[in-house]
Structure 1
Amino acid sequence: MTAAMPSRRRGLMLVNPKSRRGGAALEPVIARLEAGGIDVVVERFETPEEVSADIARRRHEADLVIVCGGDGTINSAAKGVLATGLPMGILPMGTANDLARTLAIPDDLLKAADIIVAGHQRRIDLGEVNGHPFFNVASLGLSADLARGLTPEAKKRWGKLGYGLAAIRVLASARPFRAQTIGDDGAAVTVKTLQIAVGNGVHYGGGTVIHEDATIEDGHLDLYSLELKNVWKFGLMLGAFRRGQHGAWDEVRTSKSTEFDIRTREPREINTDGDIVTETPAHFIIRPGAITVFAA
């Protein structure tokens, strides 16, 4: 759907200077946007909490929001764009840029700006766990341990290689835990697992696919549980995970639902789009078509 746009639009550009490409020169991008009819006001922020608060505060001064950063930065804007209904443009400046990949937004910032100028909009789903939004995936276990150990400095220095180096360290010390999962049918399943991931989008972790049939507009969540006895077997499964075909392995349990409850004996941290935000017990829901984005 392409909405009718006024001749000049007002764009609130929110920049995360700490993102991997946060120091990139934005003047050419702003010039491209303004040549395309978007008057840009730039705001740089220091903490994630400022992002949604700034969107809400300036909602009557903007026709659209432009988020410059990685998946964590975009996640920080979710509550603001959800509350205001403003459409969101994305300039991918992070390490993984998984939401941009899902929406086919290129890493080239000028080409990404062209998508915003073109004005084509899509309504996408938003996941939520214990009231915290996520676009890509929320998980506990290995990925939460990975998120805790992967510092912003390591992301900036090593990029995607940093994920691989940190993953090797996490795998070496991984221990399974017991959890109970409950879908919207009310059936409870008890598992002994290394990781449980609940996906809303398509990509996570730098391009890994949550499920080969997943879209960010399908109105449901995709869950998998990694139930390996030997963690090093995970190396044999990497290709299947990259393609979203991991459910073919006996050691991976998968399911789809519009909501999930996950319970563990002891509270376990939950990572949403790269940041630890809550812990179990956890209630996951889907908000279909909740966010409007500019996409190809």
Structure 2
Amino acid sequence: MSSARRNALMLINPNARRGSDTLDPVIARLERGGIDVKVERFHTPREVSADIERRHNEVDLVIVCGGDGTINSAAKGIMATGLPMGIMPMGTANDLARTLAIPDDLLAAADIILAGQTRRVDLGEVNGHPFFNVASMGLSADLANSLSREAKRRWGKLGYALAAARVLLKARPFSATIINRSGEVQVKTLQIAVGNGRHYGGGTVVEANAAIDDGHLDLYSLEQDNVFRLLLLLGAFRKGTHGAWEEVRTDKCVEFDIRTKREMPINTDGDLVTTTPAHFVIRPSAVAIFAPGPARPGR
């Protein structure tokens, strides 16, 4: 580890689930380790990448404090500047941190940044909007629409579970066309998800062998209209083995197009950002994130 001091821009989302936690011990740990920290708090997602680009000549790295939505907001700025990113997992699900084996303990997360090891990871993109974990339409978009910021802060993962139960009871299939380099297929589905990383939705696995640096996207389409049968699938989704069920269509590619009969909202890393028709593409090795070395899927 170099003895030269480094400068970090620390971006804090005060609205994150743990946004009111004090970061003084974390900042002290970083500064003792040779990183001088410049702190900025923001209140709207659009500020995050703008701040990174505006201040990139002043700093050597960026530290993002928040959940998956906050980290997503930093993606364009990180790509544009090439600065490495550290993560302080302070959200509800923290799926990107889970994918990269970054612990919820903030002092331990600070130690990972101090160690200086970075891992280059892919970014997914849908209609020009980046995503680290998953972009989806159907059930998860309905869930994102129904789960308020207040509910996430108050109830955490329990809030997700309660909202998911309400969404499932009202779920109705929709018609879609999935297009990739091998052709196109018509489906009637409850959800289509396109994954870049490994985890989403509080620890659910996109696909058993998915990795955030494997250079492709993993798609699944949930073609089941029986809610009670769907409940049987939940365990498979937690392990990423849902592709073995006949009700779940899976595919891998570097580019997808999805069209629907009616315009449908698309959820990226927990936020609704665009609608169908949707063009998905992978951006390999797009950003560097401070993280331990990659683990094998399933570990």
TM-score class, shorter: over 0.9
| Percent identity of equivalent pairs | 72
Matches within 5 A, 1:124-139: 124-139=121-136
Deviation, 1:6, is 6.1
1:58 maps to what in 2? 55
Match of 2:166 among 161, 164, 169: 169
Amino acid paired to 1:64? L
Match of 1:228, SS state, is coil
d(CA) in 1 for partners of 2:236 and 2:249?
14
Distance 2:131 2:24 in 1: 30
Displacement of 1:231 after TM fit? 1.8
Distance of 2:111 and 2:152 partners within structure 1: 27
Give the C-alpha shift of residue 32 in structure 1: 0.5
1:154 equivalent in structure 2: 151
Q: In structure 1, what is the Cα distance between the partners aligned to 2:233 and 2:4?
A: 51
Unaligned runs of 5+ in 1: none
Give the deviation of 1:5 after TM superposition: 4.7
Where structure 2 has 5 or more consecutive residues not aligned to the other structure, the ranges are 293-299
- Amino acid of the structure 1 residue aligned with 2:212: I
- Partner deviation per Cα, 1:232-269 (whole Å, 9 max, x = no partner): 21111111000000001100000000000000011100
Distance 2:58 2:210 in 1: 36
Which letter maps to 1:257? C
Give the CA deviation at 1:128. 0.2
**Aligned residue number for residue 143 of structure 1:** 140
Distance 1:70 1:275 in 2: 11
Q: Structure 1-normalised TM-score?
A: 0.98
Q: Is 1:220 matched up with 2:216?
A: yes
What is the aligned-residue RMSD (CA, Å)? 0.8
- Alignment match, 2:29: 32
Q: Residue 192 in 1 paired to residue 188 in 2?
A: yes
Give the aligned length: 292
1:229 CA displacement: 2.5
What is the CA distance between 1:184 and its match in structure 2? 2.6
Q: Find the residue that maps to 2:233 and give its secondary structure.
A: helix
Q: Which of 11, 15, 22 is the aligned partner of 1:14?
A: 11
273, 291, 296: which is aligned to 1:295? Answer: 291
Give the Cα–Cα distance (whole angstroms) in 2 for the partners of residues 16 and 216 of structure 1.
24
Decide whether the 8 Å contact of 2:172 with 2:225 is kept in 1.
Answer: no
Q: Give the TM-score of the pair, scaled to structure 2.
A: 0.97
SS of the residue 1:234 aligns to: helix
- Hey, what's the Cα distance between the residues in 2 that align with 1:229 and 1:92? 35
Distance 1:183 1:169 in 2: 33
**3-state secondary structure, aligned to 1:58:** helix
- State the alpha-carbon separation in 1 of the partners of residues 172 and 38 from structure 2: 48
| Runs of 4+ with deviation above 2 angstroms | none
What's 1:41 paired with?
Answer: 38
